């Protein structure tokens, strides 16, 4: 007789582990089934180059919900985060180096434009007001436009707040929800590197350009950033982003949850319209009262369910849900720090993010290439050197650099012959791009790991290599994520739930979908009791 | 105290302009310097701009008993809906169809029968530039589907087309009822959330069923390409339909938010009939005929219309409008001004920072209004042959619609990409009409007019719009036409190019944008041109915005003019109580 659980969680990424932890904490008998031999999903630390530890996919933490850190006591389970401060943007005519010190930052910005420096505080205030206002929405399930008015009552407070926002803030919020990151920034700024770098927040993980309407929403999504209450800060977990998953896993286990790796789920078992368990690739069957999928919407609904078990409209909507991966990850093992041609003295500018985003046109042209099925000839790069904050990531005196690269369209034009064919060539392109601003970079490389969108799809299971398990598009957010009418983690299959980033509020190391799904599941169980 | 006396005296008793503040009683600046000894004219409302929206607004105001003076800078009325002259032949200068003119406006102003409108059976003919095939979108969707069925994978494509057309008509009807009027108020404690919730309750009253309601909330921010692709898999047809989301605008079919402009362009119901094919209606005598009809109606209601009267400033005192100053030195005293110029002209050029404040100017400057659409008017000594339209007889029928020449989505995007960097498209997207097929009276002989929209040609062209640049653009457009109508270039008698730079200099549209403000979900409804001034009222007491740069948007619809006038009339009524 096969084992039986109160809840089976499919997928051991940070959201699946979070759901498991909350359910186990509530006293449920929970098992997590992970396809790979390691937990973490896209929050993963591995050592493809011996001695060097890479945050293979995701590389920075800012969106992780403080509730999760508190309620699961992640600090006790070993989570340590060091702030990653500052952004350094090399430019052909100099550089822009923004750090924590306000006066220094303004001085840097004034180098490029006096007007920008004068407007900087107003911009920060506006964005802060907006994120403060909107943040409650990422810690509540999305209300359905045709749903129970009760769902909207949860938002009454938010509605009242909106009424009380000053007109300029309301206007700016609408600009962000409907417009482009570039046009939003133009309301304050004109400096090439400032707009180039700031607009990058609007395209990360998105198959759009900084001038495409809709990227304001992605910008906003990234500015939710908050670590345990402190604002708009990014942080590096000690030991890489895999440490986040490890801490959540440890919390889950401490509450009694079982985590099984190397246990790929083949299909969800149904009885009528009800999910009753899963069958593994091995043929083994595991039974449970509640089945939770932390995989993306495509795997959850199109791959793991028997054909024809979903209502036609719903299945069509899932097929229309857009993934369109647009980014790659290239991780480097270095035997020394690169020297950037235009940089301030010291290594301070390398402590935070090194952003290759010198101008709006540079960014937009990078998108134009991708739109037509080509990797960007000159890509946007978001590079970190974690070893400057966390030396444990490499042998003494050595360093690792991790570069997020965009654009790398999952769907390539035919002439490229597929990603495996141009993978190394693409890696060289990234090296060339960095070396244009730091000529000795190429000489410091002792090893590299290239994760193309295809690799992200095959290795980690992200459909089309989309890092958010579904694009952050206005029409795919809130009550439309993943499907209008099904934004509250329930699915058309009874006792089958969605807890991945394909659900509200979306991707990033937030653990919000995992937490909110667990809370909804517990609510419905109480309803049954 | 002339102003105090004159303005109210001018108003009918039932319609006193607001006299709420002492400020309003201060003598306006104009009194200090009555130039050329001319006594300043007075009115309740001065309408700036004699395009279709200005004329519609003036007609509504006059009809309500408001003393209205309309001032148009150019010597003739019509703005961008103009019947002009190409080598001695009357031709539609810019807009060449009037299909989207709102029936409600025509009814209110009694325009029916005053202008002869013709709607061809063929709405849109799309010859493929390279493979010799063609698509015709007919007024009758079933007829379209029957022809589509003969294409590769045709059965599926035809079914998808009918499904999309049905969806667009149902949603278009909702637009007509809810989004075509004065935008709802998001303010006063109300919120986006409440507005969205409102869909749930408003839906039954608009006959919008839940499925369509959910789709609207999803489709508005979508790209036209994604929207159409969910129904149709056919490169040429997808490009043809989604193109309407970017026509006249600095966007491509892949740009998010063009779903909103596509749906807005497809308004259906109350006599309008958009759908997946879009409207094609031609006014006999050119769009100018419609303009004359509206102008006659306005005059009939008692509005005074002045041409050659350029406004150099909107005069105000302590944040309250006092009238307008004209280039002639004359001033018109009025407690209300309704401007149908583009918002930047009105708020940045005609008013100073002391009136608008720096914040509004900063935000308004960043609104998108880069013109990328040129107009090429061609006179031909005979009807050009479009082989892919079939026999001569068949051509006569299919060529009556809009003739759109494009190949696929990425082709349009490629044409758009150049414009982002100040370059014109190597292969522009071309949409032509042959008005003389429907209205032979324009030439009265075997000559024909080809009225051609050419995109993308950015106003801020690198190197400027020199004679060479103009020739290059015209040649590239003709080359595209030649690819589907071989030999046509040999029949060109005259050609006339109007670039976005000309729209800026000769028509006064900031950025040379045919829609005044770029269209799309980012500059839409209540936030067109900007949230806070998207409901026709402005922070300047007595100044109302209208025109294509306000909701619901551009095109020969008359809707912004009618909505703004209604808003102002309500305001006057409230003030009179």
pLDDT level of residue B36 (50, 70, 90 thresholds): low
Taking phi first (over 0 means left), then psi (-120 to 50 degrees means alpha), and beta for anything else, what does residue B563 get?
A: alpha
Q: Is the pLDDT confidence value at B194 over 80?
A: no
Give the nearest partner residue to B194 out of A159, A216, A371, using CB atoms.
Answer: A159
Cβ atoms of residues A380 and A133 within 8 Å: no
- Read off φ and ψ for residue B65, nearest 5 degrees: 85, 15
Is B256 at the interface with chain A, CB within 8 A? Answer: yes
Structure tokens at A458: 């095959």
Cα–Cα dist A4/B135, whole Å: 60
Q: How many CB atoms lie within 10 A of CB A77?
A: 18
pLDDT score recorded for residue B197: 53
**Chain B residues close to A361, C-beta within 8 Å:** 421
Give the nearest partner residue to B192 out of A162, A183, A213, using CB atoms.
Answer: A162
Q: Is the pLDDT confidence value at B460 over 60?
A: yes
For residue A436, give the H/E element and its range. helix A419-437
Q: Which residue of B has its CA nearest to A115?
A: B362
Cβ atoms of residues B151 and B249 within 8 Å: no
- B-contacting residues of A 365-384, CB under 8 Å? 365, 368, 371-372
Q: Out of A208-212, A490-494, B115-119, B203-207, which region has the weakest mean confidence (pLDDT)? A: B203-207
Q: What is the mean pLDDT of chain A?
A: 94
Q: Is the pLDDT confidence value at A49 over 50?
A: yes
Query: H-type helices in A207-309, by residue range?
Result: 215-223, 242-254, 297
Cβ atoms of residues A508 and A283 within 8 Å: no
Q: Is the pLDDT confidence value at B21 over 50?
A: no
Cα–Cα dist B268/B274, whole Å: 5
Q: Out of A70-74, A120-124, B304-308, B458-462, which region has the weakest mean confidence (pLDDT)? A: A120-124
**Chain A residues close to B368, C-beta within 8 Å:** 183
Q: Which residue of B has its CA nearest to A413?
A: B410
Give the nearest partner residue to A214 out of B211, B257, B421, using CB atoms.
Answer: B257
> Which residue in this structure is represented by tokens 């749930």?
B200
Is B205 at the interface with chain A, CB within 8 A? Answer: no
First to last CA, chain B: 23
Q: How many CB atoms lie within 10 A of CB A346?
A: 8
Which residues are CB-contacts of A50 (< 8 A; sequence separation ≥ 6)?
Answer: none
pLDDT score recorded for residue B40: 86
Cα–Cα dist A481/A470, whole Å: 9
Please tell me the number of Cα atoms within 13 Å of B299 on its side-chain side: 10
pLDDT score recorded for residue A157: 78
Which residues are CB-contacts of A206 (< 8 A; sequence separation ≥ 6)?
Answer: A214, A215, A218, A326, A471, A472, A473
**Chain B residues close to A486, C-beta within 8 Å:** none
Cα–Cα dist A279/B542, whole Å: 71
Is A485 at the interface with chain B, CB within 8 A? Answer: yes
pLDDT level of residue B577 (50, 70, 90 thresholds): confident
Say if the Cβ atoms of A213 and B520 lie within 8 Å: yes
Across the range B528-546, mean pLDDT stands at 95
Cα–Cα dist B128/B151, whole Å: 13
* Strand-pair category, A274-280 with A285-293: antiparallel
Cβ atoms of residues B164 and B276 within 8 Å: yes
- B-contacting residues of A 277-316, CB under 8 Å? 313
What residues are paired with B454 via a beta bridge? B374, B430
Q: What pLDDT digit, counting tens, does each position of A51-107 carry?
A: 999 999 998 887 889 999 999 999 999 999 888 888 999 999 999 999 888 899 999
Is B255 at the interface with chain A, CB within 8 A? Answer: yes
Is A212 at the interface with chain B, CB within 8 A? Answer: yes
> Which residue in this structure is represented by tokens 């001032």?
B71
Is A133 at the interface with chain B, CB within 8 A? Answer: no
- A-contacting residues of B 507-526, CB under 8 Å? 520-524
Cβ atoms of residues B245 and B265 within 8 Å: yes
Cα–Cα dist A300/A302, whole Å: 6
**Chain B residues close to A368, C-beta within 8 Å:** 417, 420
pLDDT level of residue B34 (50, 70, 90 thresholds): very low
CA distance A466 to chain B (A): 17
Q: Which of B323, B312, B250 is nearest to B3 (CA)?
A: B323
Is A162 at the interface with chain B, CB within 8 A? Answer: yes
pLDDT level of residue B20 (50, 70, 90 thresholds): very low
Q: What pLDDT digit, counting tens, does each position of A134-145 carry?
A: 888 889 999 888
What value does the CA radius of gyration of chain B take, rounded to a whole number of Å?
Answer: 24
Q: What pLDDT digit, counting tens, does each position of B322-376 carry?
A: 999 999 999 999 999 999 999 999 999 999 999 999 989 999 999 999 999 999 9
Could you give the angle at which helices B192-205 and B210-219 cross, rounded to 10 degrees? 140
B91 vs A208, A502, B177, B448, B453, CA distance in Å?
40, 54, 34, 10, 14
**Chain B residues close to A178, C-beta within 8 Å:** 221, 257, 521-522, 524, 527
**Chain B residues close to A407, C-beta within 8 Å:** none
Cα–Cα dist A435/A356, whole Å: 11
pLDDT score recorded for residue A281: 97
| A482 cis-preceded (ω within 30 degrees of 0) | yes
* Strand-pair category, A285-293 with A4-10: parallel
Is A145 at the interface with chain B, CB within 8 A? Answer: yes
Is B146 at the interface with chain A, CB within 8 A? Answer: no
Q: Which of B317, B339, B316, B310 is nearest to B544 (CA)?
A: B339
B265 vs B176, B253, B399, B456, CA distance in Å?
11, 14, 21, 19
Q: What pLDDT digit, counting tens, does each position of B473-495 carry?
A: 999 999 999 999 999 999 999 99
**Chain B residues close to A159, C-beta within 8 Å:** 189-191, 193-194
Q: Is the pLDDT confidence value at B12 over 50?
A: no
In chain B, the percentage of residues whose pLDDT exceeds 70 is 89
Q: Which of B377, B304, B373 is nearest to B83 (CA)?
A: B377
Structure tokens at A231: 């604002």
Query: 3-class DSSP state for residue B291?
Result: helix
pTM exceeding the 0.90 threshold for the entire prediction: yes
- Read off φ and ψ for residue A305, nearest 5 degrees: -110, 145
Give the nearest partner residue to B188 out of A146, A163, A188, using CB atoms.
Answer: A163
Q: What pLDDT digit, counting tens, does each position of A226-240 carry?
A: 544 444 567 889 999
Q: Is the pLDDT confidence value at B3 over 90?
A: no
Is B233 at the interface with chain A, CB within 8 A? Answer: no
Q: What pLDDT digit, counting tens, does each position of A314-325 carry?
A: 999 999 999 999
Q: What value of ipTM does the predicted structure carry?
A: 0.95
Cβ atoms of residues B307 and B74 within 8 Å: yes
Please tell me the number of Cα atoms within 13 Å of B65 on its side-chain side: 11
Mutation site for A-interface testing, chosen from B163, B186, B188, B194 by largest number of A Cβ within 10 Å: B194
Q: How many CB atoms lie within 10 A of CB A272?
A: 8
Is B160 at the interface with chain A, CB within 8 A? Answer: no
């Amino acid at each position: 007789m096969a084992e039986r659980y109160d809840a089976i969680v499919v997928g051991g990424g940070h959201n699946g582990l979070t759901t498991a932890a909350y359910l186990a904490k509530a006293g449920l008998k929970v098992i997590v089934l992970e396809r790979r031999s390691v937990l973490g999903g896209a929050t993963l630390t591995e050592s493809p180059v011996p001695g060097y530890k890479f945050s293979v996919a995701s590389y920075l933490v800012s969106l992780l919900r403080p509730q999760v850190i508190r309620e699961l006591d992640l600090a006790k389970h070993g989570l340590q985060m060091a702030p990653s401060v500052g952004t350094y943007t090399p430019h052909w005519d100099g550089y822009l180096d923004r750090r924590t010190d306000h006066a220094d930052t303004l001085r840097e910005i004034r180098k490029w434009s006096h007007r920008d420096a004068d407007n900087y505080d107003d911009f920060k205030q506006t964005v802060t007001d907006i994120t403060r206002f909107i943040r409650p929405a990422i810690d509540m399930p999305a209300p359905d436009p045709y749903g129970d008015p009760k769902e909207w009552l949860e938002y009454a407070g938010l509605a009242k707040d909106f009424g009380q926002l000053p007109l300029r803030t309301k206007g700016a919020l609408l600009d962000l929800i409907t417009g482009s990151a570039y046009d939003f920034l133009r309301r304050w700024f004109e400096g090439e590197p400032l707009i180039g770098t700031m607009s990058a927040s609007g395209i990360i993980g998105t198959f759009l350009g900084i001038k495409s309407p809709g990227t304001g929403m992605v910008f906003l999504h990234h500015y939710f950033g908050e670590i345990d209450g402190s604002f708009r800060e990014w942080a590096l977990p000690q030991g890489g982003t895999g440490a986040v998953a490890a801490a959540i896993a440890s919390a889950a286990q401490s509450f009694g949850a079982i985590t099984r790796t190397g246990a790929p789920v083949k299909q969800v078992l149904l009885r009528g319209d009800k999910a009753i368990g899963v069958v593994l690739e091995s043929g083994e069957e595991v039974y449970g009262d509640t089945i939770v999928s932390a995989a993306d919407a495509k795997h959850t609904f199109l791959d793991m369910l028997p054909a024809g078990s979903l209502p036609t409209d719903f299945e069509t909507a899932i097929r229309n849900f857009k993934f369109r991966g647009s980014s790659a990850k290239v991780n480097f093992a270095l035997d020394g720090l690169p020297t950037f041609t235009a940089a301030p003295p010291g290594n301070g500018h390398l402590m935070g993010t090194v952003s290759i985003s010198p101008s709006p046109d540079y960014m937009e042209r990078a998108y134009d290439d991708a739109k037509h099925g080509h990797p960007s000839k000159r890509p946007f790069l978001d590079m970190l050197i974690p070893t400057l904050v966390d030396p444990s990531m490499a042998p003494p005196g050595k360093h690792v650099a991790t570069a997020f690269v965009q654009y790398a369209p999952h769907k390539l034009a035919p002439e490229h012959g597929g990603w495996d064919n141009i993978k190394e060539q693409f890696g060289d392109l990234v090296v060339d791009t960095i070396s244009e601003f730091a000529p000795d970079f190429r000489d410091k490389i002792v090893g590299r790991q290239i994760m193309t969108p295809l690799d992200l799809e095959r290795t980690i299971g992200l459909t089309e290599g989309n890092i958010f398990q579904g694009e952050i598009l206005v029409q795919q957010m809130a009550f439309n994520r993943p499907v209008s009418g099904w934004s509250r983690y329930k699915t058309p299959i009874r006792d089958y739930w969605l807890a991945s980033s394909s659900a509200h509020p979306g991707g990033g190391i937030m653990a919000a979908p995992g937490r909110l799904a667990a809370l909804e599941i517990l609510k419905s169980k109480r309803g049954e009791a | 105290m002339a102003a105090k006396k004159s303005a109210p005296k001018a108003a009918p008793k039932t319609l006193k302009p607001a006299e709420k503040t002492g400020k309003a009683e201060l003598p306006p600046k104009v009194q200090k310097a009555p130039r050329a000894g001319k006594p300043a004219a007075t009115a309740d409302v001065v309408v700036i701009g004699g395009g279709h929206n200005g004329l519609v607004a003036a007609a509504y105001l006059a009809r309500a008993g408001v003393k209205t003076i309309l001032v148009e800078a150019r010597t003739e009325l019509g703005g961008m809906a103009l019947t002009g002259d190409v080598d001695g032949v009357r031709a539609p200068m810019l807009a060449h169809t009037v299909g989207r003119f709102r029936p409600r406006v025509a009814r209110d102003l009694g325009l029916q029968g005053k202008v002869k409108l013709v709607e061809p059976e063929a709405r849109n003919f799309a010859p493929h530039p390279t493979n010799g095939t063609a698509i015709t979108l007919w007024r009758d969707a079933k007829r379209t589907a029957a022809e589509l069925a003969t294409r590769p994978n045709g059965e599926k494509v035809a079914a998808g087309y009918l499904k999309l057309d049905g969806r667009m008509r149902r949603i278009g009807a909702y637009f007509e009822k809810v989004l075509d009027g004065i935008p709802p108020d998001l303010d006063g404690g109300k919120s986006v959330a409440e507005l969205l919730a409102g869909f749930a309750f408003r839906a039954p009253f608009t006959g919008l069923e839940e499925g369509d309601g959910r789709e609207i909330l999803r489709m508005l921010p979508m790209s036209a390409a994604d929207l159409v692709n969910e129904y149709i898999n056919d490169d040429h047809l997808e490009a043809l339909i989604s193109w309407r989301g970017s026509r006249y605008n600095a966007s491509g079919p892949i740009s998010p938010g063009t779903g909103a402009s596509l749906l807005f362009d497809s308004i259906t119901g109350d006599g309008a009939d958009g759908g997946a094919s879009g409207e094609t209606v031609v006014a006999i005598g050119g769009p100018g005929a419609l303009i004359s009809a509206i102008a006659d109606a306005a005059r009939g209601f008692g509005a005074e219309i002045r041409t050659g009267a350029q406004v150099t400033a909107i005069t105000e005192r302590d944040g309250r409008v006092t009238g307008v100053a004209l280039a002639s030195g004359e001033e018109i005293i009025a407690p209300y001004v309704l401007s149908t110029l583009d918002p930047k002209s009105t708020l940045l050029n005609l008013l100073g920072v002391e009136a608008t404040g720096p914040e509004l100017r900063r935000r308004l400057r960043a609104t998108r209004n880069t013109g990328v659409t040129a107009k090429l008017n061609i006179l031909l000594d005979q009807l050009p042959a479009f082989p892919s339209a079939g026999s001569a007889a068949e051509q006569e029928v299919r060529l009556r619609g809009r003739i759109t020449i494009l190949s696929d989505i990425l082709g349009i995007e490629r044409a758009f990409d150049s414009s982002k960097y100040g370059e014109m498209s190597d292969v522009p997207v071309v949409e032509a009409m042959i008005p003389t097929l429907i209205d032979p009276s324009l030439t009265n002989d075997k000559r024909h007019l080809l009225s051609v929209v050419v995109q993308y040609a950015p106003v801020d062209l690198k190197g400027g719009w020199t004679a060479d640049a103009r020739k290059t653009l015209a040649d590239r457009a003709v080359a595209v036409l030649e690819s589907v109508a071989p030999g046509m270039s040999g029949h060109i008698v005259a050609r006339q190019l109007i670039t976005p730079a000309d729209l800026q200099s000769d028509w006064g549209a900031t950025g040379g944008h045919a829609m005044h403000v770029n269209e799309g979900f980012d500059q839409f409804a209540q936030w067109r041109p900007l949230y806070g001034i998207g409901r026709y009222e402005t922070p300047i007491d007595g100044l109302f915005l209208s025109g294509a740069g306000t909701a619901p948007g551009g095109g020969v619809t008359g809707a912004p003019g009618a909505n703004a006038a209604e808003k102002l009339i309500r305001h006057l009524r409230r003030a009179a109580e």
